[in-house]
A and B are shown apart, each in its own frame.
Chain A
Amino acid sequence: MNRRSDFPLLAMNPGLHYLDSAATSQKPRAVLDAIVNFYETSNANPHRGAYDLSVKATDAYHGARDRIARFFGVSDPATLIFTRGTTEAINLVASSWGGANVAEGDEIVVTGMEHHANFVPWQQLAIAKRARLRICELEPDGTVKVARLAELVTKRTRIIAFSHVSNALGTINPVREIAAIARGAGAISVCDGAQSAPHLAVDFHDLGVDFYAFSGHKMLGPMGIGGLIGRRALLEGMPPYQTGGDMIEFVKDADTTWNVLPHKFEAGTPNAANAVGLAAAVDYLAAIGMDEVRRHELALIESAMTRLSAIDDLHIYGPGPAQRSGVVSFTLGDVHPHDLATILDGAGVCIRAGHHCAQPLMRRLNVPATARASFYVYNDESDIDALVAGIMTAKALFGPAHV
């Protein structure tokens, strides 16, 4: 089924082959309309005014939270905190839970495939607390072996932070098993869901993690909105991340008491319009069905990997299609990924080239950069045709690889 017509930017650019959805997705008309509609019909500051319009804005904001929570199988919407995105959600946990619970000599475990957003906050927390950051090395096929990760876990382990799906390789990690290891060790599990929320059916309780972070803009929603889903008992025990308006109960001269969840973690005027936009995005995805989204992407990634691996000098990183989301990272002989991206751009093909905000992973792969194509609901085989044709153009321009 061709969904391009639902996406104004794609519909207006028929020659465009957008293969960079792992960076950000395109937006369907329904999302853009929902944002405009909020500003045209419901715009006021939520939680503030006693007048009808403010009540309308408040209802729209909370209604959005309810719909998004349901999308992730969360029955208690107050445990879904709106943030700017995954980065802020992870920083919230590192700063608030980590700040209160990590002490000198404690340990934090991450994997070698983490995006900087799920690496640097833990590294900096470890430095600040004189704790130890332990990195689980990857298998040669770019996967995490649960037994290897388990070996790093000690009685000092306080946090295990890992991505559900790698942004650079597409690897799908065994979330439930890793969450179980954390539970067994008395540590918390923090799952970076930036690359899973858009592409896989996610039920927060079924995953068994303590925290799950996601970004709206990668799942058809607007930029600047995302969320943190957490277990209520943990969230209630945590100090605020930011302080200010909306998140307080009573402000006395000498101290302050905090509002209830989710408001305790949402200081300042909320991003209500974009929350409404994100709710429209999850409605759009739910209408397709996340199992169908996965089936569609699996077919594309199987085809792309078959066709790309038939090209001389092309090397694909990461596991096979069954353990991979719709992401393929590769290099082409001695053609630098940036040159490849420029040549592909000339053919209307948008791919990412670089370190994918995962420098620790690039060091482990021993490459400075890779080219990355990523697929989503609006892509089809014609996008892979254009990708393959562009790669052949690059090969012709650069000639045979020299060593």
Chain B
Amino acid sequence: MSENAANIQAMYQELILDHYRRPRNKGELEGEHTTVAMKNPLCGDEVYLHLSLEGDRVNGISFTGRGCSISQAAASMITQAVKGKTSDEAEALGARYREMIMGDKEAATDKSLGQLRALSGVSKFPARVKCALLAWNALEEGLR
């Protein structure tokens, strides 16, 4: 298999396709919450992140939107990963995630990222980095 083909197989893992087709936490959020919209005007990917905090803790989180498998799977996995975390914890996780997507090899094996490590293959595709970061950018803005 060529390196290209191997990189593509690594990116489109079953776990990612599963989150794309059966997204977790997708839908509107009940009760009072903030919504952050992030769009990639070049390709039309859209993520609306809905967030409610209880004190300092992410109490409710969901997303709506549409786009490619990477942008939608990332939103699904990220909402799972930060539910129940404090905003400091969520931001630390986000920073690590960003490092992984930008190609940091250590971050790609960091257990604290859990399932999100499945997205590490995106770093080989600079044109797709934005897709993987869309939901995180929304979350960061929401936490601010």
Interface residues on A, range: 20 to 34
- Look across to chain B and name the residue whose beta carbon is closest to the beta carbon of A355: B44
Residues of B within 8 A of A339 (CB): 12, 68-70
Contact at A346–B12, with CB atoms within 8 Å? no
Contact with B along A344-364 (1 / 0, CB 8 A): 011100000111000100100
Contacts A397-B9, A398-B17 known; A342 to B128 CB distance under 8 Å?
yes
A334 at the interface (CB under 8 A from B): yes
Partner pick for A334 among B5, B21, B42, B44, CB 8 A cutoff = B21
Residues of B within 8 A of A354 (CB): 42-44
Residues of A within 8 A of B70 (CB): 338-339
Contact at B12–A368, with CB atoms within 8 Å? no
Contact at A368–B8, with CB atoms within 8 Å? no
Contact with A along B1-22 (1 / 0, CB 8 A): 0101101110110000100010
A401 to chain B minimum Cβ distance, whole angstroms, is 9
Contact at A346–B4, with CB atoms within 8 Å? yes
What CA separation (Å) do A338 and B72 show in the bound complex? Answer: 12
Residues from 1 to 56 in B contacting A, C-beta threshold 8 Å: 2, 4-5, 7-9, 11-12, 17, 21, 42-46
Contact at A398–B43, with CB atoms within 8 Å? no
Residues of B within 8 A of A369 (CB): 43-44
Give how many A-B residue pairs fall within 8 Å (CB-CB).
55
Partner pick for A338 among B5, B8, B17, B128, CB 8 A cutoff = B128
What CA separation (Å) do A398 and B8 show in the bound complex? Answer: 12
- Look across to chain B and name the residue whose beta carbon is closest to the beta carbon of A359: B44
Contact at B21–A368, with CB atoms within 8 Å? no
A402 at the interface (CB under 8 A from B): yes
Contact at A338–B21, with CB atoms within 8 Å? no
The residue among A336, A347, A397 with the most chain B CB atoms within 10 A of its own CB is A336
Contact at B67–A398, with CB atoms within 8 Å? no
What CA separation (Å) do A393 and B43 show in the bound complex? Answer: 22
Residues of A within 8 A of B69 (CB): 335-336, 339
A399 at the interface (CB under 8 A from B): yes
What CA separation (Å) do A292 and B5 show in the bound complex? Answer: 37
Residues of B within 8 A of A393 (CB): 5
Residues of B within 8 A of A355 (CB): 43-44
Q: What are 6 sample pairs from A and B whose C-beta atoms fall under 8 A apart?
A: A335-B69, A339-B12, A342-B127, A347-B4, A355-B43, A368-B67
Chain A positions near chain B (C-beta within 8 angstroms): 334-339, 342-343, 345-347, 353-355, 359, 362, 368-369, 393, 397-399, 402
Top 10 A-B pairs, shortest CB-CB distance: A338-B68, A336-B68, A346-B4, A346-B8, A368-B44, A354-B43, A402-B21, A397-B12, A339-B69, A369-B44
